[in-house]
Structures are given as C-alpha cells and as structure tokens.
C-alpha cells in the first residue's frame, strides 16, 4: 500500500505527478489563503508525510500525529521547525539546501547594486516624472567594484555571493562566521574578522545566516553605529536577524547610507510599516530563491525528501539537528 501524504500549498504539476507515482495524497490548492492551523492538524493525523512551507511545526501541530514520519519545507531556512518537538515525535524535518544557492546569490547581488547605486530609489524618481527637477549629482551613489564586502554567514549561499563579488566586481571579501572557512580564504582571498571589525571595515554588509537564538537581532543600534556612514546593509537572512526599529532609525538619521532588505520581522510587510516611507531603502518580498527556474527544483527536492521519509527511509536533506 502506498503511504498517504498531505501537501499544504499548491505545487507544480510535474511535482504532483512524482508524488502521485509514489503516494496517496491530498493538496491544499488555495494559493492566496493558508489552511487554518486546526484543519492542518486534522489533516496530519492520518498522514505519513507532509510538505508544510511557511508553518510553525511545533508541539501543538505535532501532537496526535501518530503516523507522521517526515515533514518537508520548500526552503533552506528551517527556523519555523521546533527541532526538539520533531525529535520527541520521531519525525524527520527536511529542507532544500544547495538547489537555490546561486539564485539567492543573484538576488542578493541585485540588492548590493541597488543599495549602492540607489537603483530602486531612482526608479521611483524617474517613474514619478521627477527627472530633471534636481542636478544629476543629487543621485550619485557609491561604486560597487573594488570595494569591501562583508559577509555575515559564509555558508553555501555566502560562498556564491563571495564568488560574484571577488571575480565579478573585484571586491575585497571579509567574513564573519561561527567556524573558520580556510577554503573561502584560499579561493576568494577572504579574511575572517570578528563582527565589530567587519562592520567597521565593510562598504557593504550582507546578512545570510540562519535565524537562531544566537543570530536573533545580531545587528542592532550598536552594530549599526559601528558601520561607515557610506555603508549599505543587505538582509537576505531572516527579518529578526536585525532589530528592524534600529534599522529604520539608522536610515532616517543616515547613520548608514542605505539598506536593501528581502526579509522582515512580519511578512508580508504591514502597509503602515515605517520602512515603506523611507527614501534610502530597497525592499523585495522575501523572494531570494523564488524564480521560475528554481522554484520547481526546490519543490521537487522537498517532495523527494517527503517520499523517502514516508517510506520509512532516511531522507537526503534532514536538518542537521535531527541527523
Ligand atoms: N531571502 C531568501 O529568500 C533566502 C534566505 N535564506 C536564508 O539564508 C540562510 C543561510 O542559508 P545557507 O547558506 O544555505 O546556510 P548554511 O548553513 O550553508 O550557511 C550558514 C552559515 O552561517 C553560519 N552561522 C550560523 N550561525 C552562526 C552564528 N551564530 N554566528 C556566525 N555564523 C553563523 C554557519 O557557520 P558554520 O559553518 O560554522 O555552521 C554557516 O557558515 C538560511 O538559513 C535562510 O535563513 C536562504 C535562502 C533564501
Ligand atoms: O527563505 C528562503 C529559504 O529557502 O530559506
């Protein structure tokens, strides 16, 4: 008999065909509405596996899921997993590393460019019909090439950002990471620094660490004040890795030159959020990995992990706390 799995959001037809080959299944097909948590809990009671992107997978959800062996998220970040609860219920938690690295690095580099050269701000200016109202010098930003990039989180994606910066833009690479990465030092001339020193030296500071207890509000008012007044802060990690109020204040006071943010404390960003009224910020809707090319690869990887787990095998991408 095939195992039964539940998928809590729409998936591409190719991925559905793969799941259908191996499992009995049900899909929540509402793209603009999430399944209510109570209903999701009910659905999981009979499931052997599930794909649950964007849900808190915690004790409340996992209680009474006797059959459940695996949950997959279509993301590499898994800060919404309560790994202790997963362990307690003997459920594998999986994610989608590797397949999105280059795609996320592309977007982050777009944010670097926009933050330095004010692309988003100037786009608004031109579209608003204001071109010509001020001298060109009012729009000058900062060069990207041959300047210093500080990467906080030199992991899979951090490396791809370093590659673009070093070989595409001839930048000097500084990094702050829990462990030393001799390979990155060798390949990209990267220099490991303590956080405060990196913040003082970098022209562009990119955050691409996981959200954990240790990285929660890693960048707050004190850290922003260490940065150069010409520096750009790019957050591609998770919103709570920065103190958002402190970032708003630093942008208002021009403590830093600009910020470019893909992730936020509350997503979608509330319509009255102060970031929305600031000039010197580029905002994207948590879309680092989401392209027409990569979305399907991530979905397929999540489905493969789920199918492996539902059949009682160890899935390929179990998160490291549960290996
Ligand atoms: N905006 C978006 O759409 C996307 C955002 N992301 C975010 O990016 C994150 C990173 O992804 P990925 O590169 O694949 O992850 P990796 O695990 O490969 O890299 C994370 C790096 O962060 C380091 N790190 C972890 N904790 C700390 C800490 N407390 N202090 C210093 N360094 C630390 C790790 O160090 P060590 O090697 O020593 O463990 C590791 O090198 C994801 O968790 C996710 O939150 C990812 C994809 C898309
Ligand atoms: O934010 C996206 C991810 O893959 O993590």
The domain segmentation of the chain, as residue ranges, is: 4-99+292-322, 101-283
The preferred substitution site among 74, 94, 108, 178 for testing ligand 1, maximizing ligand atoms within 8 Å of CB, is 178
pLDDT in tens, 170-208: 999 999 999 999 999 999 999 999 999 999 999 999 999
Q: What is the pLDDT along the chain (323 residues), one digit of tens a residue?
A: 999 999 999 999 999 999 999 999 999 999 999 999 999 999 999 999 999 999 999 999 999 999 999 999 999 999 999 999 999 999 999 999 999 999 999 999 999 999 999 999 999 999 999 999 999 999 999 999 999 999 999 999 999 999 999 999 999 999 999 999 999 999 999 999 999 999 999 999 999 999 999 999 999 999 999 999 999 999 999 999 999 999 999 999 999 999 999 999 999 999 999 999 999 999 999 999 999 999 999 999 999 999 999 999 999 999 999 99
* N residues, the chain: 323
Output the CA 209–ligand 1 centroid distance in Å.
Answer: 3
**CB 192 near ligand 1, within 6 Å:** no
Ligand 1 and 211: CB distance under 6 A: yes
Give the pLDDT confidence of 271-302 residue by residue, as tens digits.
999 999 999 999 999 999 999 999 999 999 99
Contact residues of ligand 2, CB 6 A cut-off? 75-77, 100, 288-289
39 CA from centroid of ligand 2 (Å): 25
CATH 3.40.50.720 fits 4-99+292-322, yes or no: yes
150: three-class secondary structure by DSSP: strand
Topology of the domain covering 101-283: Rossmann fold (3.40.50)
* Dist CA 241 CA 264 (whole Å): 9
| Residue 209 near ligand 1, beta carbon < 6 Å | yes
This complex has an ipTM of 0.99
For residue 82, how many other CB atoms are within 10 A of its CB? 18
50-75 in b/e form (b: 16+ CB < 10 A) is bbbbebebeeebbeebeebbbbbbbb
Instruction: Take residue 35 and report the two structure tokens written for it.
Output: 């399944």
DSSP 35: P
Residue 29: exposure state from Cβ atoms within 10 A (0-12, 13-18, ≥19): exposed
- CA 263, CA 259: separation in Å to the nearest integer? 12
Q: How far is the CA of 221 from the centre of ligand 2 (A)?
A: 26
d(CA 138, CA 140): 6
**Considering Cα of 273, then 275, then 279, then 281, what sign does the dihedral take?**
negative
Looking at the CA of residue 96, tell me the nearest atom of ligand 2: 4
Same fold flag, 4-99+292-322 and 101-283:
yes
Q: If you take atom 2 of ligand 2, which residue's CA is the nearest one?
A: 75
Q: Which two tokens stand for residue 63?
A: 């209680």
Q: Which residues are catalytic?
A: 238, 267, 286
Ligand 2 atom 3: residue of nearest CA: 75
Cis-peptide, bond into residue 250, ω within 30° of zero: no
Return the DSSP state at 166. I
Which residues, 6 or more positions from 308, have their beta carbon under 8 angstroms from its beta carbon?
70, 314, 315, 316
| Residue of 95, 179, 210 best suited for mutating to test ligand 1, as the one with most atoms within 8 Å of CB | 210
Closest ligand 1 atom to the C-alpha of 237?
7
């Amino acid at each position: 008999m095939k195992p039964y799995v539940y998928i809590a959001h729409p998936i591409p037809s190719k991925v559905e065909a793969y799941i259908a080959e191996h499992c009995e299944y049900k899909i929540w097909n509402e793209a603009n509405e999430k399944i209510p948590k109570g209903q999701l809990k009910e659905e999981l009671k009979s499931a052997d596996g599930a794909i649950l992107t964007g849900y808190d997978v915690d004790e409340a959800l996992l209680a009474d899921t006797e059959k459940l062996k695996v949950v997959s998220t279509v993301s590499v970040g898994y800060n919404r997993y309560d790994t202790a609860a997963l362990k307690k219920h003997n459920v594998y938690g999986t994610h989608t590393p590797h397949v999105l690295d280059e795609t996320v690095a592309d977007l982050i580099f777009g944010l670097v460019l926009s933050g330095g050269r004010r692309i988003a701000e100037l786009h608004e200016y031109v579209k608003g019909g204001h071109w010509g109202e001020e001298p060109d010098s009012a729009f000058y930003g900062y060069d990207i090439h041959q300047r210093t990039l500080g990467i906080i989180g030199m992991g899979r994606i951090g490396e791809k950002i370093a590659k673009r910066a070093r070989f595409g833009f001839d930048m000097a690479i500084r990094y702050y990471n829990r462990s030393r990465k001799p390979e990155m030092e060798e390949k990209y001339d990267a220099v490991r620094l303590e956080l405060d020193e990196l913040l003082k030296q970098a022209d562009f500071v990119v955050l691409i660490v996981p959200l954990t207890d240790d990285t929660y509000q890693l960048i707050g008012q004190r850290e922003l004040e260490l940065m150069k007044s010409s520096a750009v802060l790019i957050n591609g990690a998770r919103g709570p890795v920065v103190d958002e109020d402190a970032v708003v204040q630093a942008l208002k006071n021009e403590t830093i030159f600009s910020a470019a943010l893909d992730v936020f404390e509350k997503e979608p960003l509330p319509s009255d959020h102060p970031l929305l009224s600031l000039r010197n910020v580029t905002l994207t809707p948590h879309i680092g990995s989401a392209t027409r090319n990569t979305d399907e690869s991530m979905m397929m990887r999540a489905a493969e992990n789920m199918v492996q787990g539902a059949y009682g095998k160890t899935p390929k991408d179990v998160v490291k706390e549960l290996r």
